[in-house]
Amino acid sequence: MKTAMSASGPKRTFLSHRRMSAFGGKADIDVKGFYSRFWPKADIPPWRKSKDLPRIKHRREPPEAGMQRRGESRQPVKGRRTLGRKAPKAPTKHVSAHRPPERFNRLKRERDEALEQLAATSEILHVIRTSPTDVHTVFETIVRNAVSLCGSLFANVFRFDGELLHWVASHNVGPSFVDLLNAKYPMRPDRSQVAGRVLLTKSVVRLEDALTDPDYDQRFSRPMGWRRMLGVPMLREGDPLGVIVVGWAEAGPVPKAQEDLLETFADQAAIAIENVRLFNETKEALEQQTATSEVLKVISASPANLSRSSMPC
């Protein structure tokens, strides 16, 4: 047992007790006497009897399923190599740049069609704005865009004056077809033509196969080779102003997108017709006002002549 020293000599500690001589000589350590003061019946303190105490075994229990040890994150540390084989990556489908997916092609096609329709609509509106009195130019622009965007064989525009149906414009037709139209029109609306059916019903008419329709005039469909047809009315406050008719070579139903496009063209044609009507009415009103003002000017310039003419002879 170590003994701490001080300036005045050896000092006592709690765990040791030295019996000192009067002359500062060596003293024997009386440990037993020191402990006997507190535990008289014990030779050594009780905590020193390690043989009588059961030995405590420290064992490390495995962590439970829902617990993890302190400092463990179960994630690989950056820079530390993980043991075991890596899981193989899932195979990815190789997409060639020369063969894009079908969805991409479909979206691209729809975008191109929408841009073409927007360009055609803008062109028609431009013609209406720049030619407010020339409705025939508007009709020619409509039939040309209808054939181009709908992929049809032909497109016709008819005007209705309240009694008779007049043919006014066509696109992609030959001289023989023009001769048939000139021979048939003007005419009263009936069910032998799609334009007549549109005027009678004041609605869209769809003809899936003109060759199998018993009421349709086959003089037009057989030599010209069309079967599927669509007629769209040009309306102003519910009253028909005319009809747009389009025909295709194959039979079957008309796509909804093409029907919507032709309805847009019909609305623009009705705007053009209404603009011409308003322009003509305004022009006539101005002419009448001009004539009236001239008459009043003459009257105000010669009141004496009028008074003389009113006197009896």
**CATH assignment at residue 125:** 3.30.450.40
Do 27 and 123 reside in the same domain of the chain? no
Which tokens in the block code for residue 113?
A: 């069609």
Domain count, the chain: 2
Strand partners, 304: none
Residues 169 and 30 in one domain: no
| Overall residue count recorded for the chain in this entry | 313
- Are 275 and 268 spatial neighbours (Cβ–Cβ below 8 Å)? no
Q: Are strands 228-236 and 9-10 parallel, antiparallel or unpaired?
A: unpaired
Q: Residue 80 carries which DSSP code?
A: P
Q: Looking at the domain assignment, is residue 54 inside a domain?
A: no
Same-domain status, 35 and 115: no
Count CB neighbours of 186 within 10 A. Answer: 13
Q: Which range of residues forms the domain containing residue 186?
A: 110-288
DSSP 8-class letter at 61 = P
Please tell me whether residues 207 and 114 are part of one structural domain.
yes
Q: What is the pLDDT along the chain (313 residues), one digit of tens a residue?
A: 545 555 555 555 544 444 554 445 444 455 555 555 555 555 555 555 555 555 555 555 555 555 555 555 555 555 555 555 666 666 555 555 555 678 777 777 777 777 777 777 777 777 878 877 788 889 999 999 999 888 889 999 999 998 999 999 999 888 888 888 888 899 999 999 999 999 999 999 999 999 899 889 888 777 778 899 999 999 988 899 999 999 998 999 999 988 999 999 999 888 888 888 887 778 777 777 777 777 777 777 766 555 555 555 5
The percentage of residues in the chain with a pLDDT greater than 70, rounded to a whole number, is 64
Q: Pick from 15, 260, 11, 242: which is nearest to 113 by CA? A: 260
Residue 92 lies in a domain: no
Does residue 216 sit within a domain? yes
Residue 258 inside a domain? The answer is: yes
Query: What three-state secondary structure class fits 170?
Result: strand
Q: Same domain, yes or no, for 174 and 270?
A: yes
Residue 51 lies in a domain: no
Identify any residues that bridge with 205 across adjacent strands, giving them in sequence order: 231
Cβ–Cβ < 8 Å for 35, 17: no
Structure-token pair, residue 198 = 């549109």
Task: Tell me whether residue 151 is in a domain.
Answer: yes
**What are the tokens at 70?**
């302190």
Alpha carbon distance 34, 120 (integer Å): 117
- In terms of domains, do 118 and 263 share one? yes
Specify if 68 maps to a domain.
no
Does any domain span residue 259?
A: yes
**Together in a domain, 26 and 166:** no
- The answer to whether residues 33 and 125 belong to one domain is no
What pLDDT, in 10s, does the model give residues 100-152? 678 777 777 777 777 777 777 777 777 878 877 788 889 999 999 999 888 88
- In the beta sheet, which residues pair with residue 157? 169, 244
pLDDT the model gives residue 17: 46
Residue 185 makes CB contacts below 8 A (sequence gap 6+) with 158, 165, 166, 167
